[in-house]
Amino acid sequence: MSQVAITLVILAGALVLFVTELVPLGITPLIVLSSLAVSGVLPVKDVLTGFSNDTTIMVLFMFPVGEALFRTGVCDYIGRKVIKLAGKNEVRLIGLVMLAAAFLSAFTSNTGTTIVMAPLVVSVAREAGVSAGALLLPLAFGASFGGMLTLVGTPPNAIVQGALRQATGESFGFFDFGKVSLPFVVVAVLYMMFVGRKQVATRLPSEVSSPEKHEFKTKKMGVSLFILALVVVGMFFESRLYAFGLSLPIVAMIGAVLTVVTGCITMHEFTGSIEWSSVLLMGGMQPLGLAMQRTGASEMLAGFLTRAIHEPTPYLMTGVVVVSAGLLGQFMSHTAATSVLAPVCVAIAQQLGVSPAPLLMGLCQATSIAVATPIGTPPNVIVYQRGGYKFTDFVKTGLPLFVLGALMLSLLIPGMFPF
């Protein structure tokens, strides 16, 4: 069996495991790495390169920074202040819940944001006399879409950053992602306020759940905010920091160290904040992308796509990437989907003789709008049972948003990122 065939078999096996979840999510990348090593597709020294990759290290150290915001009560404080503005009006509650979740998720983990805000939203629903089910799905969508706004908002953004840098030596700016996603976030909030809320099931009464109690280190709120600001500013001026021996991973690492040194979180909370499944997915799936490039598998898949489409213009291919990535992301981890498709996007761009930036941007953004199933994004998983939802609730509400998002991204990305 040729190395191309072996690589494609490993890819197919990984997709099956991701979709069926026959093994835990974080184990699949380790199976991929073992297969690449045993089959000889990649030398041993290259099999583990994903765990020393700048992107993987940066994401790993951003988890403690986000944890510090939670432990010091910043997330709780912002959530309460914003949601209090809505009073007992359900429409305003939905809008403010989504905006608050989107803002927090732009700079912290969307998973952590949902976990922190879910009990708060249930409490607010009880006080307002509305169904918690009417607010929890907008919370999940807001958290998922907020991750589209910045480089650190969600792991797929960081993955395509690494792919672009490896392919061209160029990088996306910290807020470049928001150029195309911010209009969609605004439209999505308005959609949920006036259309989606009528599609959300209200079978969960407001008095069913009780909010969880947390003890926050409120005296450290200012410190945790300063650390976040320091990290964000450092990432914003990344190109200038190289002159001082700094890079994105180092900036994130310094921020993570400060969270413990300043007492915002304990060492136990530091280690507990790291979502190891995400780290394993990022570090474990990147070598598969490398194998696809070296064996020619990514070029073969790219060639199949370009031949299957009559006159494969860059604009049309951006739409194809957005739809394909979005559909794949409905049934598997958005991190895994991005890792698998990133080298294919680069190969498509090379065959068309264009910049891979628009295709990679479309890839990462599309996986974040995969909200038409309860397993499409981590926030959806978190509210699935708590909100008393059925699978069809996500389809009825999330599918129109996915279609709307795919159309907007396909139109906006080529204009914002020239080929």
Q: Using the predicted structure, report yes or no on whether residue 211 has a pLDDT greater than 60.
A: no
Task: For residue range 332-371, list pLDDT tens digits in order.
Answer: 777 778 888 888 899 888 888 889 999 999 999 999 999 9
CA distance 196 to 189: 9
- First-residue to last-residue Cα distance in the chain: 37
Q: Using the predicted structure, report yes or no on whether residue 210 has a pLDDT greater than 50.
A: no
User: Is 99:82 a contact under the CB 8 Å cutoff?
Assistant: yes
pTM of the model: 0.72
Task: For residue range 216-246, list pLDDT tens digits in order.
Answer: 898 999 999 999 888 878 876 766 777 777 8
Task: For residue range 25-84, list pLDDT tens digits in order.
Answer: 789 889 999 999 999 999 988 998 888 877 678 778 888 887 888 889 887 787 677 777
Q: Which amino acid is at 226?
A: F
- Token duo for residue 118: 């879910």
pLDDT on residue 205: 47
Taking CA atoms, 253 is separated from 46, 133, 191, 259, in Å, by: 24, 38, 38, 10
Q: Using the predicted structure, report yes or no on whether residue 331 has a pLDDT greater than 70.
A: yes
Q: Which amino acid is at 278?
A: S
> Which has more pLDDT, 15 or 61?
61
pLDDT on residue 21: 73
Average pLDDT score over the chain? 85
Taking CA atoms, 79 is separated from 114, 119, 245, 247, 343, in Å, by: 11, 11, 37, 32, 39
Task: For residue range 366-395, list pLDDT tens digits in order.
Answer: 999 999 988 778 788 778 777 778 878 888
The string of DSSP codes covering 27-60 is HHHHHHHHHHHHHTSS-HHHHTGGGG-HHHHHHH
Q: What are the φ and ψ backbone dihedral angles of 94, each rounded to 5 degrees?
A: -60, -45
